[in-house]
């Protein structure tokens, strides 16, 4: 008699590891430590105000502001602590980097070091905590390319998204799910709270290349660049416009929840570069939001772009750099990229320097 109807995360990882006979087990151990941190966060999120965990983190006599310039929530700080505590001791990591910490985290000298780097947003979508809307944790695993180093530095983390070894997120929603890719497609696990185990419930997640659903913060529309304005206007024209079909809109203000919806039923999510704050290349962070989520999206057959370039090819140059993000159903993202290219061509053609007057001004 089969007692457990489903595969546990541990079993999935061990079966995947058999592809790599030389594997030393550090990778699997790391994923399980990350999963433990997510279980702890899930329990804290579920307790919420019962455990006095809503509201802003108080440091000294005031509120705490993180490197992003954002007020930290109590659960932001607790989630970051869980990620550090569950992962610093295992001997799998050379160092860590987090949305909540300005500098990389050095593994304490009394713990062994390993060959991986862990980058994470411990709790994304924090504005939803106090209103009981889904939030999530995002993580990315890179190789430490300079293993002889005693300390990690920012530059160790400056790796394009297509060099990630693995990426995933935990979604704290009606159920807690762990969605993961180790480079062999995307799988989903649902937390069985009786067993305390993530159970494999989604064996092969793929994204429909087409969609009729888009997600964008429409309150920023006056700041959008022309290609985005064009795309959204066509969606809103529905079946009477050039798209010939009606669209629906969603905005949860939680990237993990939006990404999960897209992985489940297709769609496109945009937080594009806009003119709201020209000093910022976008709102979302490259290393611990866009890259890990984008890795999953592309492993599931979707696409992630800045609008002007494939996002996973971007070479990072700052731990907390921001970037414009367009991701989801492949055909839709490619359409938006085409609009950006057409806009660039029009700008070039219209340019007095390179216009129809030839290469040089008369």
Least Å from the CB of residue 263 to ligand P6P: 15
Residues in region 260-289 near ligand P6P by CB under 6 A: 271, 283-284
Stretch that binds ligand P6P, among 32-40, 51-59, 121-129, 348-356 (CB under 6 A): 121-129
Residues in region 206-245 near ligand P6P by CB under 6 A: 217
Question: Which of 33, 88, 100, 124 touches ligand P6P by CB under 6 A?
Answer: 124
Within 10 angstroms of residue 106's Cβ, the number of other Cβ atoms is 15
Least Å from the CB of residue 214 to ligand P6P: 13
349: left (phi over 0), alpha (psi -120 to 50) or beta: alpha
Q: Does 138 bind ligand P6P (CB under 6 A)?
A: no
For every residue of 149-201, which 3-state class applies, written as one string?
Answer: CCCCCHHHHCCCHHHCCEEEEEEECCCEEEEEECCCCCEEEEEECCCCEEEEE
Nearer to ligand P6P, 111 or 251 (CB): 251
Nearer to ligand P6P, 6 or 250 (CB): 250
Nearer to ligand P6P, 66 or 329 (CB): 66
Contacts of 246 (CB under 8 A, 6+ apart): 212, 238, 239
Contact status, residue 35 vs residue 82, Cβ threshold 8 Å: no
CA–CA dist 88, 107 (Å, integer): 6
Nearer to ligand P6P, 85 or 217 (CB): 217
CA–CA dist 308, 164 (Å, integer): 21
Least Å from the CB of residue 127 to ligand P6P: 6
Least Å from the CB of residue 335 to ligand P6P: 21
Contact status, residue 9 vs residue 200, Cβ threshold 8 Å: yes
Give contact residues for ligand P6P (rule: CB under 6 A): 124-125, 127, 217, 253-255, 271, 283-284
């Amino acid at each position: 008699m089969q007692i457990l109807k489903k595969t546990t995360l541990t079993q999935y990882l061990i079966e995947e590891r058999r592809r790599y006979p030389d594997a030393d087990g550090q990778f699997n151990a790391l994923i399980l430590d990350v999963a433990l941190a997510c279980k702890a966060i899930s329990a804290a999120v579920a307790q919420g105000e019962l455990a006095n965990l809503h509201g802003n983190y108080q440091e000294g006599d005031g509120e705490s502001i993180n490197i992003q310039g954002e007020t930290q929530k109590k659960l932001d700080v607790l989630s970051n602590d869980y990620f550090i505590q569950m992962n610093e001791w295992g001997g799998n990591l050379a160092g860590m980097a987090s949305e909540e910490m300005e500098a990389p985290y050095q593994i304490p000298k009394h713990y062994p070091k390993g060959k991986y780097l862990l980058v994470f947003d411990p709790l994304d979508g924090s504005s939803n905590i106090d209103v009981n809307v889904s939030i999530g944790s995002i993580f990315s695993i890179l190789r430490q390319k300079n293993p002889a180093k005693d300390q990690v530095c920012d530059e160790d983390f400056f790796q394009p998204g297509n060099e990630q070894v693995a990426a995933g997120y935990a979604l704290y929603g009606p159920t807690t799910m762990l969605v993961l890719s180790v480079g062999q497609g995307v799988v989903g696990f649902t937390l069985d709270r009786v067993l305390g185990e993530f159970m494999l419930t989604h064996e092969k997640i793929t994204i429909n290349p087409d969609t009729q659903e888009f997600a964008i913060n429409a309150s920023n529309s006056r700041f959008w660049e022309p290609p985005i304005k064009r795309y959204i206007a066509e969606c809103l024209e529905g079946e009477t416009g050039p798209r010939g079909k009606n669209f629906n809109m969603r905005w949860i203000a939680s990237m993990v929840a939006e990404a999960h919806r897209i992985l489940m039923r297709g769609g496109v999510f945009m937080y594009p570069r806009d003119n709201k704050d020209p000093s910022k290349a976008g709102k979302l962070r490259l290393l611990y939001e866009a890259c890990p989520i984008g890795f999953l999206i592309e492993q599931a057959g979707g696409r992630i772009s800045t609008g002007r370039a494939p996002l996973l090819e971007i070479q990072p140059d700052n731990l907390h750099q921001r970037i414009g993000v367009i991701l989801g159903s492949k055909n839709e993202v490619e359409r938006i990229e085409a609009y950006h290219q057409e806009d660039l061509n029009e700008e070039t053609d219209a340019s007095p320097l390179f216009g129809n007057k030839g290469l040089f001004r008369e």
